[in-house]
Amino acid sequence: MSTCADTLFTTTDINGLAIRNRFAVAPMTRISANEDGTASERMARYYERFARGGFGLLITEGIYTDQAFAQGYHHQPGLTDEAQGLAWRPIVEAAHRHGARFFAQVMHAGAISQGNRFRDGTIGPSAVQPRGSQMEFYYGKGAYPAPSAMTDGQIAEAVDGFAASAERAVAVAGFDGIEIHGANGYLIDPFLTEHTNRRGDRWGGDARARTAFAVAVIKAVRAKVGGNVPVGIRISQGKVNDFTHKWAGREQDCGFRRKPATHSDAKPASVPI
């Protein structure tokens, strides 16, 4: 009879991509990139240690997606141009040499950006000031300013940024898969959240309608990277600026009911999008 520990060391796959075990490095903000958003030597050492240590899957920290409003922190890495993509390539190749798979987490900070070298001000689905205060350990200070409500053009630009950075992650940097960051208060999340999305157009409304932006991003990314590259999305209720937030509709806002776990359900399923 196999145990949970035995399962951790078995191979699995995500959309056909073989992964040697069930150990994965979660994305963790590190603000250790170069000022221009290129990946640094410090980052290279950090990720290679996990691959060399035997982790089957690495997921990057959040990587900003455009040269407009996406950047969230000073010294955050980007994937907005060829130079930034090429800087990631030797890091990905080092992980591959040690047998690990590597996914890029693509992220737009939205209204909780606190360090953007491309733009002054922030944007969000609606002009609602984010709760909480900026994170001082990421060089922020004071309350978050109120964002400008996004125009249709800015929404299209943000969607295109996710898609282009995902394509660059695969084609230029050599990443094996994409995780879309839709959690923690970053741009996709306030579109999903009732008190930060007060739009009366096709991007707002009830819980199902508020998923429109996330769906647009997923479709655009999938169209750019093709059907064989694993693509997933990370979502959460809590946010870096509002840890205890819960969706008003709780389980109903998720759109599904959990079924009781059975023995046949024990093996995690791959759910490509």
> What are the residue numbers of the active site?
186
Helix pair 82-97, 41-52: axis angle to 10 deg = 30
Residue whose pair of structure tokens reads 């879309």 in the numeric block: 180
CB 178 within 8 Å of CB 59: no
CB 61 within 8 Å of CB 105: yes
Helix (H, G, I), strand (E, B) or coil at 53: coil
Return the C-alpha torsion angle 132, 136, 139, 140, nearest 10.
20
Residue whose pair of structure tokens reads 């630009």 in the numeric block: 157
CB 213 within 8 Å of CB 197: no
DSSP state of 240: T
CB 27 within 8 Å of CB 59: yes
Residue whose pair of structure tokens reads 């035997």 in the numeric block: 54
